[in-house]
Amino acid sequence: MTGLSFLVLLLTGMPVAFVLIGATLVFVFLSGREQLIAAIPQISFGSVENFDLLAIPLFILLGEIMNESGLTRRIITSVRVWIARLPHNLVIVNLISNLALAAIMGSATAQMAVMSRVVVPEMERDGYDRGYAASLTASAGLLGPIIPPSMLLIIYGVIAQVSIAEMFMAGIVPGIALFVLILVLAFWQATRNHKQQGSTERLNFAQKIAATIPGLAAMLIPLVIVGGISFGVFTPTESAAAAIVVALVFAVLEFKGQTFRRIVPIIDRTVANSAIVLFLIVAAKIFGWVLTFNQVPQHVAAFIVSLTDNPTIFLLLIVVFLFIVGMFLDGIAALIILTPILLPVAISQYGIDPIQFGLILAMTLVLGLLTPPVGTGLYIAAALSKVSVMRLSKLVLPYVAATLAVILAVVFIPWMVHPF
């Protein structure tokens, strides 16, 4: 009945977080255990009272400051001046800029929105098909939740009680593998379908240096984040706060005396975006509590164990299952609901490393951003690039396949998540 009420409420278009709370209340009332409602406030408060979760609004704030102060555009410009004469340089610029932004933002949808606005029109001006440019940009956005910092990996780390710094490090090799795979695929498509041959504009060395310095300064930010965490200087949350300070220095110079007027909307957007994620965490925690009360994890464990006792086959089944779930449910909500159910099975029944499992979970769920019918990333890229969702969902298919290939590599080569 809880499942049915969940489905009915979901189909009414009710916000997902309230769907989860509604399904919980339906269970409580139908089971005649109204006294359980008394536990909800405490569960809600406790679900977000976590220092590590502070990294979420902080990384969102950092991304907003980067965009508003033009730092994102500077990174793109500084990459472009050095490879302007190469064929299909904008394909490389698109991917390298996405890689750099992935090391700053931690949110795929934010990254897709920024890049769709900035790079897609430039690629179109250079003669690329708009659909191709939009599909490449949306797909490269998948690097966001894999390359550290990643919102999904932070949430998984908190739920699974594994080190977030270790989760971040685990994302580096699969993220770079995905970057290389998308680059090869995009270049092959560009060579086959487009005549673009690079800019004819010549810049001398001094001009190139002048254009690069602002971008290099902006690149200090990912350095602070990744370097700070890997050398143990900062926790992930502290690294975000330190990066905000660096970004603010540039922003204050850029805003020229209008800092307060321009910072307020940045904070408001941060609050708006954080609300969606944080309330989903609260609601999913409440719903997860009902699932645990119903002994759903035990039933799921018994069911999966009856299917296979092979860890690799278990992981492949999980990939298929999550791929389907990701098509219909927001990745963050799915991660919060499913991790407490699947992780104990993975560890106790199959002896799977929680870091490897977390990365597989996050990477597979993130694919849901590009798959209909609920692919948020797809809708964002389609709306901002003015390409139909249907066309875009076909164009991203090769990149979805590339991401699946990397997920399979993580399944078969656990070393990829522990390279250091």
Partner 1 sequence: MNPLGKISAGLVQLERWASRFLVVGFVGLIVANVGMRYLVGRPIIFAEELAAIMLVWLAFIATSISIHTRAQIGVTLLIDNFSVSWRRIIDLLVWLLITIMLAILLKAGITWVRSPVVEFEQVITTGWAKAPFFTIFPIFCASALVHSLAHVARAAGEIRGKNA
**CB-nearer residue toward partner 1: 147 or 329:** 329
381 binds partner 1 (CB under 8 A): no
Q: Tell the smallest beta-carbon distance from residue 224 to partner 1 (Å).
A: 11
Q: Does 165 bind partner 1 (CB under 8 A)?
A: no
> How is 203-260 classified by DSSP, letter by letter?
--HHHHHHHHHHHHHHTHHHIIIIIHHHTTSS-HHHHHHHHHHHHHHHHHHHHTT-HH
Q: Is 267 in the site for partner 1 (CB under 8 A)?
A: yes
- Asked if 320 is part of the footprint of partner 1 (rule: CB under 8 A), the reply reads no
Considering only 6, 27, 53, 336, the residue that binds partner 1 (CB under 8 A) is 53
Residues that contact partner 1, how many (by CB under 8 A): 55
The tokens for 130 are 């708009």
- How far apart CA 396 and CA 112 sit, in angstroms, is 13
Q: Of these, 49, 200, 231, 420, which contacts partner 1 (CB under 8 A)?
A: 49
Instruction: Give the phi and the psi of residue 143 in degrees, each rounded to 5.
Output: -65, -30
Give min distance, CB of 49 to partner 1, in A.
Answer: 5
Q: Does 375 bind partner 1 (CB under 8 A)?
A: no
Selected from 16, 136, 155, 178, the binder of partner 1 by CB under 8 A is 16
CA distance 357 to 47: 22
Per DSSP, the residues of 378-414 read: HHHHHHHHT--HHHHHHHTHHHHHHHHHHHHHHHH-G
Residue of 234, 262, 235, 236 lying closest to 248 (CA atoms): 262
> Is 244 one of the binding residues for partner 1 (CB under 8 A)?
yes
Contact status, residue 343 vs residue 352, Cβ threshold 8 Å: no
Per-residue b or e along 155-184, where b marks 16 or more CB atoms closer than 10 Å to that residue's CB: bbbbbbebebbbbbbbbbbbbbbbbebbbe
Is position 336 an interface residue for partner 1 (rule: CB under 8 A)? Answer: no
Which is nearer to partner 1, 328 or 415 (by Cβ)? 328
What is the torsional sign of CA 402, 378, 175, 99?
positive
Nearest to 237 by CA among 59, 105, 62: 59
Q: Are 217 and 77 in contact (CB under 8 A)?
A: no
Which of 133, 211, 278, 322 forms a contact with partner 1 (CB under 8 A)? 278
Residue 252 is a binding residue for partner 1 (CB under 8 A): no
Is residue 42 part of the contact set for partner 1 (CB under 8 A)?
yes
Is the preceding peptide bond at 373 cis, omega within 30 degrees of 0? yes
Of the pair 271, 397, the CB lying nearest partner 1 is at: 271
Q: Does 22 bind partner 1 (CB under 8 A)?
A: yes
CB of 105 to partner 1, least distance (A): 17
Using CB under 8 A, which of the segments 121-129, 168-176, 239-247, 387-395 binds partner 1?
A: 239-247
Residue closer to partner 1 by CB (options 332, 345) is 332
Given CA atoms 335, 367, 108, 383 in this order, what sign does their dihedral have? negative
Residues that bind partner 1 (CB under 8 A): 9-19, 21-22, 25, 37-38, 40-42, 44-45, 48-51, 53-54, 57-58, 61, 234, 237-238, 241-242, 244-245, 264, 267-268, 270-272, 274-276, 278-279, 281-282, 328, 330, 373-374, 376
